[in-house]
Structure 1
C-alpha cells in the first residue's frame, strides 16, 4: 500500500486498539470518499428488494454511493426494483466459479469507489449504517469496519414499509423485539472492549456487512474463489496478515432476515465444510490442525535461509534440522542465486552452481522446501517467519517454543542473539506488514514494530529445551472463548540491531515474565553444522 498523500501520517495503532482514532459524529461531518456497495446474491428477489429499499434511505450522500448487485446465476435472474438507490446496477457472475467469494470478486472488479462495502442480500440496515462504517475510512486507510446485526424471521414486509422505517430511523419497529436473535459475535465484541483487546479480531469478521478501503483490498487480492464456505473469515485472516485493524461500530445497526444458518444437520454439515477450508488456509486455527502427519496449504511458520556461497552439506543439514523439529507445520525457503542453474549450463564440481544443483536434486520434490532469489517482503499468508544464518539452524524445539512465547506475550518480533554475533529473528507477519505500511522513509521496520506490537530480545538458551512431548503448540481458542482481559504489557526496545530494516544498537533488551521464561540449559539455541 502506498503512503497517504495530502493528509496526516497514518496513526500507529498498537495491536487492535484503535482508541487513538476519534470518528466524527454522525450527521456532523462532510463525507468525501466515493463508495461501492457490493451485494452478492443468489435468488431471494424479495429480500433483495428490502435490502435495496433500506439502502435508498441512507444518510451517507447518495451521489457518493454506487450499488452493485452480483447475480450468482439466480433462476429466474434477479431484477432491479423501482425502490432502490439511484446508481444501482446488476452484474452477472462470470463463468469459472460460484459462491459469495467468486461473486464478490466480480463486483469488486466492477466497483469504482474508494471504499468497498460487502453487504448480504438479506440485510435491512439502519439509515446511519453506511455513514457509521465509512466515517472511519476518512481517518486512515488500513481499517476494516464491521457492522452489527441481529437475526429475525422475515415478516410480511413491502419495500415501501422498509424504506419509510429506515428513513425515520426505526427499522427495528418492523420486527417483533422478542423474536430478534442477537449475534454471537456481538457478545464477543462487547467482552473484548469493541475488539480493542482481541488477539485475533479477524475471527468475528464474518461478512454480512464489512467495509474497507480499496488499497487494502488490492493488497490481499480479493477473495479466494476456491473457498465456497467460510470465505469471509479466510478473507479477514489475510487482511489481518496485511496489517489491518478491525473496527466494529455499534451505530451500524442491521437486521438479518432469517435465523442463523448453522442449525440442524444441514448447518452442522456446512460448518464441517467451512472448517475444511479454514484448516488449510488459516494456520492460527490450531484446533483445526490436529493431525501432525498432514501437509497444509498455508504453513504455520516459514523458515528462511540465505544459501548464497554455502556448500551443499551445510544447506542440507540446515533444512533437515528444520524438517525434523517438533513443529512439523513448516515450510523452508532457500534464497540464493538459483538462476545459475538456468539456461542448460554445465555445473562443474567445486562451483557454487554444482552445490545448488545437489540441493535442488535433494529437495526439489519436497513441497515443504521452496527456492527463491530473495524472500518476499512478508511471509503472508503464513503468520510467522523465522530467519537464521545457514550455519545456525534451529534446535528441535526452538520454533515450537518461540512461537508459543510470541503468542503469549503478543510481541511482533523476537530477536535471538547468540554468542559470536549470530542473530536469528522470528517475525509475526501482521506486525511486519503493518510496520512496512507505517514506516517513514528510512525508518527501521523494527522501530515501528516496537510501537505497534513490541520487540523482544532474548538469549539463545531461553528457548533451548527439547520438548519431551513432541507435540506442537496447543490449539489457539477462537475469540468466543478468550478472556476479555488485555495481555500483560511487554517491555519493548525502541530500536534493534540485526532486525528487519534495523540499523544501530538496541536501546535495551526486553525480558520475559518469570512464568513465561523457558528453563535454561547448557546447550546452545543454534545447531552447529
Structure 2
C-alpha cells in the first residue's frame, strides 16, 4: 500500500466513487498516523465504561492512539474507569455552550492526532474498528470514513466481559444477533454500492463513528455549536462542500447500546427541530425551503460580479437583475476596490470611489448583497457559484435552469457562452473545492473538475426561457431523458430514505430494491 506522503499526487476520485483507493487487508499493513478518538459524553457512566473497554482491545497500535472524553456537564461528573486505553483523559466542556457539537469542538481543540475519530459514548466497537477506518486515512487526506452500527437492547455487561470478548474477536457472545436492529442507513449504503453511486453521501454520515484527517477538519472549522440537533448532518454537509469523499467500511462494526428512540410526539418534535436547523444551513435540502419569501442563512447560489472600473448604473442594474430572477434564494458578492472608501476620504463625483460609494449606499442594508476586495476561493458552504461580467447579468431564469441542468447531469462546471462574447461560469462548490485540493501547480482547475465531476459548455440562450408551468396530469408529456455528459454513469434508483440530488425526497413509485437472500445467522463481529 502506498501511503500519502505529500509527494505522490492525490487520487482523482469522480463524484463519490472511491474505487481508485485500495485499502490494505486488516492486519496486513503497518499504521503510521497518530489518532485522537474524541468521545462527547453527558452522563451514562456505565455505557462509557463499556465503550472504553472495547477501545482498550483495538488492533490499531495503542501507542498511536489517544482517547479524549469530553464531559458535557454530567451530574455527577464522569470518571475514568480502570479498564481503558492507556492514553485516555477527561476534559470538561467549556462554558458558553452545550451539546455534542460543543463537546466535540472542545475535544478537537486539545487533540494531537493526525486522524480525528468521533465516537459516541454508548458504542461497543469490534477490535478492528479503528484499524478498518484509519487504513483509508493512510491512502489520502480527503476521505471521511464511516463505521457501521446496529442497535441492541441494553443488558447487564461488565467492562471485563466487553474487553475479553472484543479482544478474542468474538463479541457475538455479548449480543444475540437475532435481536439486533439495523440502522436506517445500512440499506442505503448497500443499495448505492457502498455510497459509490450516491449523489449526496453526506446524508448517511450521521456521526456515531466517523473519522477524518485533521487538515480537512480544520478547513471546515469544526462543528456549528448553534446546531444542537442534526449537527452531524450539517457538519457532513460542510465536509461535502469542501470536496470530501465519504467511505463506509463494513469491517468497522459496532453495537449501539440502546434501541432507537421511539417516534411519538417527542420524536416528531426533535425531527422538527433538526429540519429547522438544516433548512437554514443545508441549501440542497430544497424540500425544507418551501417558503419563497424567506431569507436563509446559507443561500443556494452565490453570484459574483467584479465591479472594478464599472459605473454605478451598470452595477445596480446587474444586482437588480439577479434579485429579480426566478431563483430568489441567492446572494450577490460585488468584488472590487472597496478600500477606496476607507479612511473618511471625500469622493469626487466622476471618480471610481464615488460610484462605489453610491452602490454601497444603495445595497449596504440588503443582507443579500456583500462587498469584498476579492472572492473567496470557493463559495462554501453555498453549494453553487455563478461568476459573470458585471455588464452581462444572468437572464431571469438562467440560474434556476442552469442549476437544474447541473444537478440532472451531475456536472461540476457549466461554462455559459454569452451572446455578446465572453463566458460566465456556474460551478458546483464541492467540485471547485476538490479541484483546488487536487490540482498540480499551474494546472487549470477546470481540467481537474472535468475528471472529478464533468464540465459542459452551453449557450446562454439554452437557459433563458422561464421554466414552463407544470402540466396537468391528463396532458403530461412523457419525460425526456436528462442530458448526460459523455463520461456520466447510468442513473441509480433512489429509495425512500435517500434524498435526490436536489434534496427532494425520492418518489414513492421508484422501484424498490429486492431483498437479499437471508444469510446464515452468525455473530455480529464474527469473521466470515
TM-score by length of 1: 0.88
Cα offset, 1:6, TM superposition: 4.8
Q: Which residue of 1 aligns with 2:393?
A: 393
Cα separation, 2, equivalents of 1:313 and 1:227: 41
Deviation string for 1:459-492 (max 9, x for gaps)? 121111113449xxxxxxxxxxxxxxxx985137
What is residue 518 of structure 2 aligned with on the other side? none
Aligned pairs for 1:420-439 (under 5 A) are 420-439=420-439
Match of 2:389, SS state, is coil
Post-superposition offset of 1:29: 0.5
Q: Deviations over 1:335-377 (max 9, x none)?
A: 0111111111111111111111111111000000000000000
* Alignment of 1:236 onto 2:231: no
Mapped contact 1:450–1:492 kept (Cα < 8 A): no
What residue in structure 1 maps to residue 285 of structure 2?
A: 285
Runs of at least 5 residues in structure 2 that lack an aligned partner in the other structure: 471-481, 489-528
> Map of 1:327-476 to 2, 5 A cutoff?
327-469=327-469
Distance 1:34 1:364 in 2: 48
- Taking the aligned partners of 1:344 and 1:223, their CA distance within structure 2 comes to 39
CA deviation after TM superposition for structure 1 residue 5, in Å: 4.3
SS where residue 331 of structure 2 aligns?
A: strand
Give matches, 1:70-81, under 5 Å. Answer: 70-81=70-81
| Aligned-partner Cα distance in 2 for 1:364–1:8 | 47
Gaps of 5+ in 1: 471-486, 494-529
Alpha-carbon separation, structure 2, partners of 1:469 and 1:325: 16
Alignment of 1:19-418 (within 5 A): 19-261=19-261, 263-418=263-418
Q: Is the 8 A contact 2:67 2:88 kept in 1?
A: yes
Q: Measure how far apart 1:326 and its partner are.
A: 0.7
CA distance in structure 1 between the aligned counterparts of 2:22 and 2:422, rounded to whole angstroms: 44
Taking the TM superposition and a 5 Å limit, the aligned residue runs for 1:3-14 are 5-14=5-14
CA deviation vs aligned residue, 1:236-255 (integer Å, no higher than 9, x gap) = 00000000000000000000
Inter-partner Cα distance in structure 1 for 2:262 and 2:334? 43
Question: Taking structure 2 as the reference length, what is the TM-score of the superposition?
Answer: 0.88
- CA distance in structure 2 between the partners assigned to 1:6 and 1:373 by the alignment: 32
Cα shift at 1:264: 1.8
Deviation at residue 317 of structure 1 after TM alignment: 0.7
1:491 matched residue in structure 2: 486
Question: Hey, what's the Cα distance between the residues in 2 that align with 1:418 and 1:381?
Answer: 27
Is the 2:398–2:460 contact (alpha carbons within 8 Å) kept by the matching residues of 1?
no
Confirm or deny: 8 A CA contact 2:414 2:426 kept in the other structure: yes
Spell out, residue by residue over 1:229-281, the C-alpha distance to the aligned partner (whole angstroms, 9 max, x if none).
11110000000000000000000000001112262221111111111111100
RMSD: 1.5
Deviation at 1:143, TM superposition (A): 0.3
SS at match of 2:343: coil
